[in-house]
Amino acid sequence: MLASLYSIVAGAMLNPEPVPVYELMPGFQIGVYGSCFLFIFLVIAGLYRKILPLVLLGYAMVYVIGVLIPLLGYVVSMMNYFASVG
């Protein structure tokens, strides 16, 4: 995790133009794209109400796998970095 943090810092130093941090996190974009596609499926499931709970469950799973877990890993790596520096 620290290697990915160092690569983010080095990339920010080499390319000073502002890049959103979430684009650098692995897996975050998968969750964003998955949530966009699942929103379309959610609209379709609104028409067919019997499969709506299954679509909501899939939406929650993709969100947790694609967004929350990489975000948590990024926060933990930042905490480890600042703990080792300080």
CA angle 71/14/83 to nearest 5° reads 45
**pLDDT at 75 (0 to 100):** 82
Mean pLDDT of 53-75: 78
pTM: 0.34
Confidence band (pLDDT; 50, 70, 90) for 67? Answer: confident
Domain boundaries, the chain: 2-85
Secondary structure class of 48 (helix, strand, coil) = coil
How far, in Å, CA of 86 to CA of 80, rounded? Answer: 10
Spacing of C-alpha 30 from chain mean position: 7
Mean pLDDT of 51-80: 79
- Could you read off the pLDDT of 7-56 as tens digits, one per residue? 655 555 555 555 555 555 555 666 666 677 777 777 777 777 777 777 77
